[in-house]
Structure 1
Amino acid sequence: MLWWIMLAGATALTVLVLALVTIGFRSPARQPAERFWTHGMGVGFTLVILAALVGAGLWTGERLLPRQSVDVVRVEAVARQWEWRFRQPDATGAMVETVGRLHIPAGRPVDVVITSDDVIHSFWVPQLAGKMDAIPGRANLLRLEAGQPGLYHGLSAEFSGTGYAGMRFEVLAYPPDDPPILPKGDDAP
């Protein structure tokens, strides 16, 4: 949604610049009054575009904030050079640890508690949510939600040493009524 609003704003600005170039080539007798430029186009047009962009940014940001909810699934993501470990509930509700793959129900909000065992990493699933840093000794909370079942790819977007480029993980969003059987302990992928 924010992308479309930004595209509309950029298109409006492009049309404005083209209109200004066209008006600039008109004869001096047909030029608009100075008040038109300073108040109408200078202040008015700019404030309308700025208000639309700020409003869209606030709306998008509010959607990403974790809120108290009854059906929120809570999982833990622990980063260490160069892997992600996830603690998540299985079909019975018992906490299971997996390596490199997070399993979440589609259509339900999921709070990911992100931390690190060694250096600063960054948890990022571009299709589901923004980027959140994993900092040693600190737990950061990120709300994400997959609209539909599928496999989403995540990565660490923070340089953390020579092997960080391979520090990728997967998020498998499953249908809420069909939770997968997760491997336990050392059987985890």
Structure 2
Amino acid sequence: MVLSGCQEQLSILHPAGPAAATIAQIWWVMLIGAGAVTVLVLGLLTAAMLRQPTSKAEPGSDAWVWVLGLGFPLVTLAALTGYGLAMGERLLPREDPDLTTVEAEARQWVWSFRYPDRPGFVTEDVLHIPAGRAVDVRITSRDVVHSFWVPRLAGKLDAVPGHVNVLRIEAAAPGTYAGQSAEFSGTGYREHVFTVTAHDEAAWHAFLQAGAP
């Protein structure tokens, strides 16, 4: 059951784009930092339990407890917080008029995708994007709150009725990537899945002209 969470198609540890790579890097750094703090605290706890009781504490004997037991975790957690904020800021979408934009609308239980570069054309449960280029996905919902998530391409973002959230995704190479709604939105939400198909330049232009094959 534990290993079932390691499947590559829905794993943030198998990034296939720059945004997902940044998220995976944050995950690893946070894991290492949290692991270091945990090991140190457990080591101090073990040392305290094995310490022989004395009638009088020696001057300065507990200084290392304050330095390592309190100082190290605080410095490490502060550094991790600053790192996470700085890296998270890099994931925010920036204004760029040359970016490709697609529109994603969620409803129970379908994702509809529209392409401003091809007005009037809609695909359901399959989002088409160009590979090697950043794409802004404008996400909204027709009924309740859903969540747009393609683990190998970017983080997740809620689809809120009456509001548009923008998520920037990018696939480093052509391929097919699994996506799903990661928000409980009623009975049946587990089957609320979709696919992202990233095309090379020739296939992308062919898609815009003729639609999905």
Q: What TM-score results when the alignment is normalised by the length of structure 1?
A: 0.82
Q: What TM-score results when the alignment is normalised by the length of structure 2?
A: 0.74
Contact 1:123 1:131 in 2 (8 A): yes
Helix, strand or coil at the partner of 1:12: helix
Residue 102 (str. 1) matches residue 127 (str. 2): yes
Counterpart Cα distance in 2 of 1:168 and 1:74: 21
Q: Residue type matched to 1:3 in 2?
A: W
Residue 60 (str. 1) matches residue 64 (str. 2): no
- Aligned match of 2:19: none
- Aligned match of 2:43: 19
Per-residue CA deviations over 1:114-136 (Å, capped at 9, x if unaligned) read 11122222111122222211122
Deviation, 1:75, is 0.7
Deviation, 1:65, is 0.6
Aligned residues: 184
Where is the helix percentage greater, Structure 1 or Structure 2? 2
- Aligned match of 2:147: 122
Counterpart Cα distance in 1 of 2:90 and 2:173: 17
Helix, strand or coil at the partner of 1:123: strand
Per-residue CA deviations over 1:26-70 (Å, capped at 9, x if unaligned) read 4467986223222x1243202221123212311331122111235
Residue 35 (str. 1) matches residue 63 (str. 2): yes
Helix, strand or coil at the partner of 2:207: coil
For 1:90-169, list aligned pairs within 5 A: 93-95=117-119, 96-169=121-194
Q: Residue type matched to 2:62 in 1?
A: E
Counterpart Cα distance in 2 of 1:67 and 1:139: 16
Identical aligned pairs, as a percentage? Answer: 54
Q: Residue type matched to 2:82 in 1?
A: G
Contact 1:119 1:136 in 2 (8 A): yes
Q: Name structure 1 gaps, 5 residues minimum.
A: none
Q: Residue type matched to 2:33 in 1?
A: G
Counterpart Cα distance in 2 of 1:111 and 1:183: 17
Deviation, 1:16, is 0.8
Counterpart Cα distance in 1 of 2:38 and 2:182: 33
Deviation, 1:86, is 0.5
Contact 1:122 1:134 in 2 (8 A): yes
- Aligned match of 2:103: 76
Q: Name structure 2 gaps, 5 residues minimum.
A: 1-24
- Aligned match of 1:10: 34
- Aligned match of 1:88: 115
